[in-house]
Structure 1
Amino acid sequence: MSAKTMREMTRPDERMSMEEFGSDGKTDVAQKGGTASDEQEMLRMGKVQELRVSRSPLLLPSQTDYRKRNFKFVGIVGFVTILQATWEATLLALYPGLLNGGTAGVISCTIAVWISMLCTIASMAEMASMCPTAGGQYHWVSEFAPPSLQKPLSYVVGWCCCLGWISGVTACGVQLAGLVQAMVLEFHLDANVQDLWQLTLMIWLFILLAVGFNTFFAHHLPLAEGIVLFLHIFAFFAFLLVMWIMADHAPASQVFTDFHDGGGWGSIGLSCLVGLTTPIWCFIGPDAGAHMSEELKDASLQLPKAMMWATFGNGIMGIGMLITFCFCITDLSKEVLEAASDYPIVDVLFKATGSQAGTIILGCVMLVLLFFSTVTTIASASRQVWAFSRDCGLPFSAWIRHVPPTWEIPLNALLVCLGVSLVLSAINFGSATALNAIINVSNAALIFSYIVSIGCVRLKRLRGEPLLPRRWSLGKWGAPLNDISLLWLSVAFVFSFFSSSPYTSDPEAAWWAQGFNW
């Protein structure tokens, strides 16, 4: 394919210069470590390899090593695993699930969500194999939607993805600050750390540190993910053994049969569905790897496998940790629902170890893991924003999409993520409830993007239209897995908008809630 032909295929803002294309009509994908498949896929999608490659530690900062892309299989598995941080999220975000569902409800819902999310991720992994681009869902929609709907649907999905990922950054910051606050209050009940402005400043600090890591240490991100992946697995067994050996345990009959309607919905079934917030948060973000695909070697094959393995492994550890923690709750009302903090794990660790130092050490390990989950969330969010601006989907796209040649990271997109995250966090100065409501939009926005993208592929299958070539295929299981994914995601999308309890002051709302006697 000639350079002239390629320029005719691409949009005006994506046309390559002869220097970028090379005198032989090839892009510099291979120079930056991509395989022949990577180069062919980038050419078909009309994209230019712009983002960072690895740098050899033997080279000076001003020198660039073009031998390989940043990520390989293990690195991207670590990236997705650390971003989801399922067992950590299980311990930190357990309160909503225990309030609406109890121990039995949250365990059964988490297992169901894990199986359903595996179907969803399999559907998305197949699309990632067909179109391994940082754009992710909005690009997939532009490829698979009916021609008359490609532009509007792609545009809406692109905005939803940007909203979901950036608000997810704020959500991670809230969890980090909340965990610090919970550890302080566990041992110093009179400490003055409960004001909204104090929590907000801590949120800002963690977001700034995470953005700084993505800016100045981006070329070390794969190495960091590998190290943190080891810590993620090692810490899992450390927490598990502490709670199994040292903590008091509730009987199994209580753990697996104690359903709880703490929100006052009047129905155990409805209450458990409202409590889906906990398992959804534990498994959200499987598209993270897709947004790093232009920095992954042999992306169309390695990315789908990494997405599946990361979620499978995270699910095993997350469910194991959840069941263990539920055994450590001997009195749900006193130890969780009436606790001073929304992070009961701190109190459970202290009761198990009987040591302030031990509790603080374990809490700090979780803090480190959650911080790197925030780092990966920002990396994914910035690539999503950068890719969408590359296709002129955002205001000031020309500035946002610019990648400084000496940095080879989407620096301006990182600054956009930083600015919007700080603005969203500032809402906490006035109301924590309002901030939490905005953060909950993160789940809903990402789930909506999953529904539309998978729905477009399912429609093509229903019409018997050919799909794009892919190196990782679902084969005959594609249609049923797409159907299961769409059914599950529709339920998850609806209940993402539910509060923890009905507005019983409204007679109509109270009547509606009481009508669900399942």
Structure 2
Amino acid sequence: MAVNIIGITFLCGTLVQGFIALNNPTSYTPERWHGTLLTFAIALFATFINTYAASQLPSLEGLILILHIFGFFATMIPLWVMAERVDAKTVFTEFSNISEWPSTGLAVLVGQIAPIFSFLGPDGATHIAEEIKDASKIVPWCMVATALINGTLGFVILITYLFTMGDLDTVLHPPSGFSFISAFNNALGSAKGATALASLILVLEICSAISILATCSRQAFAFARDNALPFSSFFANVNPKSKIPVNAVMFTTTVTLLLSLINIGSTEAFNAIASLTVGSLYLSYILSIGAFIARRLRPEPLPRARFSLGKFGLPINIFAFFYLCFAIVFTFFPGQRHVTLQNMNWSVLVWGVVVVFAIVQYMVHGRKVYEGPVAYVQKAQ
């Protein structure tokens, strides 16, 4: 849970560092501890919103959606109007295997990790379903709408970026650390203008951190309520005034802050933990969809649902299951063929340790006390 928050808060922190480096190329040297402190600041701000300002979170989410759409046009229009363009042949027919994999096809498969990361978390709405009116209908539609809207906007952004990013070598080694900031800088010819545009993305990323903390803390709360965490009664406590699981929020934030400290000592170790997000979420999707497929293939009728894909449901589930099983393999590949201690993707090691620990913990202790959501619902009824 905390791993999901680390990724987004650290991204926000390093974005700020990128802004400083862009505007002060000769006087600022980014340090690891700078990024860690900025990560702390973003995480604590998200915690404040999720506790003391939690009552305003629904209204804030509406504003975030408006900013999301506005930010798309605000960042794309300058590129459409002002940036130099490459020809369509270069965009659609030229491939660069800069990671030196044996084939371009393999390079593409390894490179899909980035777009996979962009589409992670569609399950986020399910973790706050208990706080949503008419959740059985609203939550599935929100998940579908999220994929359709962001998939469409993301494709437009991708094509725009490919046409306007400029020299590939320059983009791959940007002074700010972020190639999209360099694209803005090249288009506008102004570091301050590029910073202003990129700041919109920073604001949206901070908003994402707020939402991710809300969903992850609800996961911690739900696990504690089902006796799946140590000190479950403490973490399952709900503040009687705000109706927020404050202890679960604080627990999630604390783990995030502690893990963020690893970056000061070793960037490689920190990246190994942060990159655990993709593999761990994909495993959870595989288990969930796989169980659902097995249930649908049985002759017994399914419980009545207010949202259904009808006859397309099972084929979509099967396709998703096999794609996830295929893609999860490449989430553990290193980014480059020639591997060193620095560029190795250590997430496979961390993922394996976490999975083994979870299995052992369940066999030794969890199966004796864990009840699960079905038992909770039956008790509530």
TM normalised by structure 1 equals 0.64
User: Does the 8 Å contact 1:455/1:486 carry over to 2?
Assistant: yes
Q: What's the offset of the Cα at 1:505?
A: 7.0
Q: What's the offset of the Cα at 1:404?
A: 1.4
Partner of 1:391: 226
Partner of 2:145: 309
User: Does the 8 Å contact 2:55/2:242 carry over to 1?
Assistant: no
Q: 2:93 aligns with which of 257, 281, 289?
A: 257
Q: Which residue identity does 2:218 align to in structure 1?
A: R
Q: Which residue identity does 1:418 align to in structure 2?
A: T
Which one is further off, 493-502 or 284-293? 493-502
Q: Which residue identity does 1:168 align to in structure 2?
A: N
User: What root-mean-square deviation, in Å, do the aligned CA atoms of Structure 1 and Structure 2 show?
Assistant: 1.6
C-alpha distance 247-193 of structure 1, shift in aligned 2 (>3 A): same
Q: Does 1:406 align with 2:241?
A: yes
- What's the CA shift string for 1:206-254, capped at 9, x where partnerless? 1111111111111111111111111110110111111110011111111
Q: What's the offset of the Cα at 1:193?
A: 4.4
User: Does the 8 Å contact 1:385/1:413 carry over to 2?
Assistant: yes
CA distance in structure 1 between the aligned counterparts of 2:180 and 2:340, rounded to whole angstroms = 32
- What's the CA shift string for 1:22-47, capped at 9, x where partnerless? xxxxxxxxxxxxxxxxxxxxxxxxxx
State percent identity of aligned pairs.
38
Q: Does 1:417 align with 2:230?
A: no
Pairing of 1:199-214 with structure 2 (within 5 A) = 199-214=35-50
CA distance in structure 2 between the aligned counterparts of 1:328 and 1:421, rounded to whole angstroms = 36
**For 1:263, what is the secondary structure of its paired residue?**
coil
Partner of 1:188: 24
Q: What's the offset of the Cα at 1:330?
A: 2.7
Q: 1:216 aligns with which of 43, 52, 57?
A: 52
Partner of 2:315: 480
**For 2:244, what is the secondary structure of its paired residue?**
coil
Q: Which residue identity does 2:234 align to in structure 1?
A: W
Partner of 1:489: 324
Q: What's the offset of the Cα at 1:177?
A: 1.0
**For 1:287, what is the secondary structure of its paired residue?**
helix
TM normalised by structure 2 equals 0.87
Q: What's the offset of the Cα at 1:258?
A: 2.1
Q: What's the offset of the Cα at 1:504?
A: 4.9
Q: Which residue identity does 2:111 align to in structure 1?
A: G
User: Does the 8 Å contact 1:181/1:193 carry over to 2?
Assistant: no
Gaps of 5+ in 2: 345-381
Partner of 2:157: 321
- What's the CA shift string for 1:118-158, capped at 9, x where partnerless? xxxxxxxxxxxxxxxxxxxxxxxxxxxxxxxxxxxxxxxxx
Q: Does 1:172 align with 2:8?
A: yes
CA distance in structure 2 between the aligned counterparts of 1:434 and 1:259, rounded to whole angstroms = 32
Q: Which residue identity does 1:208 align to in structure 2?
A: L
Q: What's the offset of the Cα at 1:284?
A: 0.3
Partner of 1:300: 136
CA distance in structure 1 between the aligned counterparts of 2:234 and 2:316, rounded to whole angstroms = 40
CA distance in structure 2 between the aligned counterparts of 1:443 and 1:424, rounded to whole angstroms = 17
Gaps of 5+ in 1: 1-164, 510-518
**For 1:442, what is the secondary structure of its paired residue?**
helix
Q: What's the offset of the Cα at 1:191?
A: 3.2
Q: Which residue identity does 2:290 align to in structure 1?
A: G
Partner of 2:299: 464
Q: Does 1:279 align with 2:279?
A: no
CA distance in structure 2 between the aligned counterparts of 1:255 and 1:495, rounded to whole angstroms = 24
User: Does the 8 Å contact 1:386/1:400 carry over to 2?
Assistant: yes
User: Does the 8 Å contact 1:249/1:327 carry over to 2?
Assistant: yes
The number of residue pairs the alignment matches comes to 342
User: Does the 8 Å contact 1:460/1:466 carry over to 2?
Assistant: no
